[in-house]
Amino acid sequence: MIDNGTLVLFGAKGNLARVKLIPGLFHLDDCGQLPRKMKIFSVGRQEMSHEAWVAEIKDMLDKKFKGNYDQATFERFIKRNIYHCNLPDDPDAFKKMAVKLNNEEEFTDNLAFFLSVRPSDFALIVDQLADEGLLTEKNGSFRRVLIEKPFGTNYESAVELQKSIEKHLREDQIYRIDHYLGKSALQNILITRFANSIFEPVWNNQFIDHIQITNHETLGVGDRTTFYDATGALRDMIQSHLLQMLALTTMEAPKSFSPGDIRDAKINLLESIQPIPMNDFDHHAFRAQYSSGKIEGETVKGYLDELEDQNSVTETYAAIKLFINNQRWRGIPIYLRTAKRLHEGGTYISIKFKDNNPILENAGSNWMVMSIQPKETTHFEIQTKIPGLNDFDFRVSNLEANNRVAGDESIDAYETLMLDLMAGNQSRFLHINEVKAQWKLVDPIIETWMKDKTQPVQYIAGSSDPVESKIIFENESQFWRKSIHG
Ligand code: BG6
Separation of 144 CA from ligand 1 center, angstroms? 25
Contact between 213 and 339 under an 8 Å Cβ cutoff? The reply is no
Q: Answer yes or no: is 227 within a domain.
A: yes
Could you read off the pLDDT of 229-252 as tens digits, one per residue? Answer: 999 999 999 999 999 999 999 999
Could you read off the pLDDT of 79-134 as tens digits, one per residue? Answer: 999 999 998 888 999 999 999 999 999 999 999 999 999 999 999 999 999 999 99
Contact between 286 and 305 under an 8 Å Cβ cutoff? The reply is no
Q: Answer yes or no: is 453 within a domain.
A: yes
Separation of 450 CA from ligand 1 center, angstroms? 22
The pLDDT value given to residue 391: 79
Separation of 92 CA from ligand 1 center, angstroms? 36
Looking at residues 357-377, what average pLDDT do you find? Answer: 89
The pLDDT value given to residue 371: 98
The Cβ of residue 193 has, within 10 Å, a number of other Cβ atoms equal to 17
Q: Answer yes or no: is 55 within a domain.
A: yes
Domain CATH for 131: 3.40.50.720
Contact between 335 and 157 under an 8 Å Cβ cutoff? The reply is no
Q: Which atom of ligand 1 is nearest to the CA of 241?
A: 3
Predicted confidence (pLDDT) at residue 368 exceeds the cutoff of 90: yes
Question: In angstroms, rounded to a whole number, what is the distance separating the alpha carbons of residues 333 and 327?
Answer: 14
Looking at residues 401-415, what average pLDDT do you find? Answer: 94
The pLDDT value given to residue 263: 97
Question: In angstroms, rounded to a whole number, what is the distance separating the alpha carbons of residues 4 and 107?
Answer: 8
Residues 105 and 191 in one domain: no
**What contacts 132, CB < 8 A, 6 or more positions away?**
94, 95, 97, 98
Predicted confidence (pLDDT) at residue 189 exceeds the cutoff of 80: yes
Residues 286 and 395 in one domain: yes
The pLDDT value given to residue 390: 84
Bridge-based pairing of strands 111-115 and 143-147 is parallel
**What is the SS3 assignment for 276?**
coil
Question: In angstroms, rounded to a whole number, what is the distance separating the alpha carbons of residues 113 and 217?
Answer: 31
Looking at residues 30-57, what average pLDDT do you find? Answer: 96
Residues 401 and 267 in one domain: yes
Residue 214: closest CA among 348, 377, 372, 371: 348
How many folded domains does the chain comprise? 2
**84 is an active site residue:** no
Q: Which atom of ligand 1 is nearest to the CA of 180?
A: 14
The pLDDT value given to residue 393: 86
Predicted confidence (pLDDT) at residue 2 exceeds the cutoff of 80: no
| pLDDT band, very low/low/confident/very high, at 336 (cuts 50, 70, 90) | very high
Q: Answer yes or no: is 164 within a domain.
A: no
Residues 117 and 55 in one domain: yes
Overall size of the chain counted in residues? 486
Q: Which domain holds residue 295?
A: 181-409+428-472
Separation of 15 CA from ligand 1 center, angstroms? 14
Domain CATH for 277: 3.30.360.10
Separation of 179 CA from ligand 1 center, angstroms? 9
Q: Answer yes or no: is 304 within a domain.
A: yes
The stretches of 195-224 forming alpha helices (DSSP H) are none
Question: In angstroms, rounded to a whole number, what is the distance separating the alpha carbons of residues 148 and 181?
Answer: 13
159 CB burial (10 A radius; 0-12, 13-18, 19+): middle
Residues 21 and 102 in one domain: yes
**Phi and psi for 423 in degrees, rounded to 5?**
-85, -15
Looking at 148, 172, 203, which one is the last position of a domain?
Answer: 148
Does 178 sit in the ligand 1 pocket, CB within 6 Å? no
Does 148 sit in the ligand 1 pocket, CB within 6 Å? no
| pLDDT band, very low/low/confident/very high, at 359 (cuts 50, 70, 90) | confident
Contact between 40 and 81 under an 8 Å Cβ cutoff? The reply is yes
Q: Catalytic: which of 210, 241, 284, 343?
A: 241
Predicted confidence (pLDDT) at residue 357 exceeds the cutoff of 90: no
Please count the CA atoms within 13 angstroms of the CA of 18 that sit on its side-chain side.
Answer: 11
**What is the SS3 assignment for 348?**
strand
Residues 347 and 395 in one domain: yes
Question: In angstroms, rounded to a whole number, what is the distance separating the alpha carbons of residues 253 and 70?
Answer: 43
Across the chain, mean pLDDT equals: 96
Residues 346 and 223 in one domain: yes
The pLDDT value given to residue 89: 85
Looking at 126, 148, 170, which one is the last position of a domain?
Answer: 148
Looking at residues 356-369, what average pLDDT do you find? Answer: 84
Contact between 270 and 460 under an 8 Å Cβ cutoff? The reply is no
Residues 275 and 196 in one domain: yes
Separation of 46 CA from ligand 1 center, angstroms? 28
Residues 193 and 95 in one domain: no
The pLDDT value given to residue 3: 82
Residue nearest atom 9 of ligand 1, based on CA coordinates: 237
Mutate to test the pocket of ligand 1, among 16, 181, 183, 217 (most ligand atoms within 8 A of CB): 217
Contact between 84 and 43 under an 8 Å Cβ cutoff? The reply is yes
Q: Which atom of ligand 1 is nearest to the CA of 240?
A: 3
Distances in whole angstroms, Cα of residue 30 to Cα of each of 34, 64, 320, 331 = 8, 14, 42, 50
The pLDDT value given to residue 364: 82
DSSP-assigned states of every residue in 326-345? STTTTT--EEEEEESS-SS-
Question: In angstroms, rounded to a whole number, what is the distance separating the alpha carbons of residues 289 and 448?
Answer: 17
Q: Answer yes or no: is 414 within a domain.
A: no
Residues 379 and 284 in one domain: yes
Residues 403 and 331 in one domain: yes
Mutate to test the pocket of ligand 1, among 241, 290, 344, 414 (most ligand atoms within 8 A of CB): 241
Residues 131 and 194 in one domain: no
Q: Answer yes or no: is 296 within a domain.
A: yes
**What is the SS3 assignment for 228?**
helix
Predicted confidence (pLDDT) at residue 64 exceeds the cutoff of 90: yes
Predicted confidence (pLDDT) at residue 306 exceeds the cutoff of 90: yes
pTM: 0.96
Looking at 94, 127, 148, which one is the last position of a domain?
Answer: 148
Q: Answer yes or no: is 10 within a domain.
A: yes
Predicted confidence (pLDDT) at residue 140 exceeds the cutoff of 80: yes
Looking at residues 361-390, what average pLDDT do you find? Answer: 92
Residue 180: closest CA among 412, 16, 395, 455: 412
| pLDDT band, very low/low/confident/very high, at 444 (cuts 50, 70, 90) | very high
| pLDDT band, very low/low/confident/very high, at 392 (cuts 50, 70, 90) | confident
CA-based torsion, 15, 21, 24, 29: positive or negative: negative
Q: Which atom of ligand 1 is nearest to the CA of 347?
A: 16
Amino acid making up residue 62: D
| pLDDT band, very low/low/confident/very high, at 414 (cuts 50, 70, 90) | very high
